[in-house]
């Protein structure tokens, strides 16, 4: 089966990399057919159960579709491709689209597809048996049949103000989930956040079935994190109050590490120099991370990326604008 992932385009590379990390985590064998910041098209023997499971994990994707075809924006070519790629299933139909282009008329494209795909079918825009999905870019049209929709509203419902205990500096749940996914953590494996704060990263890891471990230097954060994890009915967790330098005395090994290191401004470093804290953090993360494991780390600035390279191989980096005045950098390292 060929699959079309409709990417959110909230970052140039992170949405695509999140999908690939999830495919790897679920041990799905695939071949990439086409990719840009709008879509990822793969070929795989994956079944629909695994596709639905993928949709529950992802945060920077809108839909996962069965890929039908892609072509230029020419109405004649669209019509030709649609006629050659018939829809075998019976039932009512709807055609929905996402126009990512700057100057393409989407109405003409949808009408061209409708001429072929709505013949002798009932059009049902509210609850169709078949939903044709169309992604329109400046150069191409991608057409597929919807298999699964990513419920992105769930992340808004888990924003910090809706939790029993929160800090205003917590990551958005959508970003926290993406960082967890970049670690390629599998269900049942153990993930560590050694600067867990209020538990935003642990929530997202726990909700996809990982066993979570969190530590923080402040006891009040650990107490609040416990309330938050219990609130979201995450039971497989371990929390403890500890300096980053002592974590290997409490835990022996973990499969992945995902954490957002202190900025040195709003978050406490207990007066420690930020460069020294980061160096100690990477050193001790290295001690507990399994060989070939991934560490996904939020950093205060781009210059701090090299601090992790003393211990790990750098896999990728992402600059992500948190708000107008601040860009956060997230690095993926491999042991």
- One DSSP character per residue, 161-204 reads GGSSS--TTPPPHHHHHHHHHHTTPPTT-EEEETT-TT-HHHHH
Phi, psi of 76 (to 5 degrees): -65, -40
Average pLDDT of the chain?
93
Structure token digits, residue 249: 């005395």
Q: How confident is the model at residue 167 (pLDDT cuts 50, 70, 90)?
A: confident
Structure token digits, residue 274: 């930020």
Q: How confident is the model at residue 327, as a pLDDT?
A: 84
Return all residues near 288 (Cβ < 8 A) that are at least 6 apart. 192, 247, 248, 251, 252, 253, 254, 257
Q: Mean pLDDT throughout 5-24? A: 97
Q: How confident is the model at residue 270 (pLDDT cuts 50, 70, 90)?
A: low
- One DSSP character per residue, 52-74 reads HHHHHH-SSEEEEEEEEEEE-S-
Is a pLDDT exceeding 50 seen at residue 19? yes
Q: Which of 139, 143, 135 is nearest to 117 (CA)?
A: 143
Q: Which of 311, 313, 309, 306 is nearest to 334 (CA)?
A: 313
Structure token digits, residue 186: 């599998």
Q: How confident is the model at residue 169, as a pLDDT?
A: 73
pLDDT tens figures, 46-100? 999 999 999 999 999 999 999 999 999 999 999 999 999 989 889 999 999 999 9
Q: How confident is the model at residue 8, as a pLDDT?
A: 97
115 contacts 81 by C-beta, under 8 angstroms:
no
Domains belonging to the chain, first-starting first, are: 2-149 (3.30.2130.30), 153-334 (3.40.50.150)
Characterise 230 by phi-psi region: left (phi > 0), alpha (psi -120 to 50), beta (else): alpha
Three-state SS string across 289-305, please? Answer: EEEEEEEEEEECCHHHH
Q: How confident is the model at residue 266, as a pLDDT?
A: 46
Q: Which of 330, 328, 8 is nearest to 152 (CA)?
A: 8
């Amino acid at each position: 089966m060929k699959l079309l992932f409709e990417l959110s385009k909230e970052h140039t590379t992170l949405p695509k990399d999140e999908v690939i990390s999830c495919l790897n985590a679920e041990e799905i064998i695939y071949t990439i057919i086409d990719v840009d910041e709008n879509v990822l098209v793969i070929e795989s023997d994956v079944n629909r159960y695994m596709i639905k499971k993928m949709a529950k994990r992802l945060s920077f994707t809108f839909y996962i579709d069965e890929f039908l075809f892609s072509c230029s924006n020419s109405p004649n070519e669209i019509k030709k491709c649609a006629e050659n790629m018939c829809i075998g299933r019976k039932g009512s139909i709807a055609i929905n689209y996402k126009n990512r282009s700057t100057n393409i008329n989407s109405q003409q494209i949808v009408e061209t597809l409708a001429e072929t795909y709505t013949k002798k079918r009932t059009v049902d825009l509210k609850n169709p048996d078949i939903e044709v999905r169309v992604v329109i870019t400046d150069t191409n049209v991608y057409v597929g049949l919807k298999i699964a929709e990513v419920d992105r509203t769930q992340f808004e419902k888990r924003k910090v103000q809706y939790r029993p205990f929160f800090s205003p500096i917590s990551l958005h749940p959508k970003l926290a989930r993406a960082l967890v996914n970049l670690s390629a953590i599998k269900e049942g494996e153990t993930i560590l956040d050694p600067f867990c704060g209020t538990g935003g990263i642990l929530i997202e890891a726990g909700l996809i079935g990982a066993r979570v471990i969190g530590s923080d230097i402040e006891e009040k954060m650990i107490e609040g994190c416990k309330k938050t994890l219990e609130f979201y009915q995450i039971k497989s967790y371990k929390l403890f109050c500890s300096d980053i330098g002592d974590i290997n005395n409490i835990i022996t090994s973990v499969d992945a590490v995902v954490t957002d290191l202190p900025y040195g401004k709003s978050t406490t470093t207990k007066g420690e120099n930020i460069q020294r804290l980061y160096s100690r953090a990477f050193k001790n993360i290295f001690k507990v991370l399994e060989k070939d494991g991934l560490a996904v780390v939020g950093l205060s600035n781009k210059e701090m990326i090299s601090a992790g390279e003393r211990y790990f191989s750098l896999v990728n980096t992402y600059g992500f604008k948190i708000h107008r005045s601040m860009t956060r950098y997230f690095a993926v390292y491999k042991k």
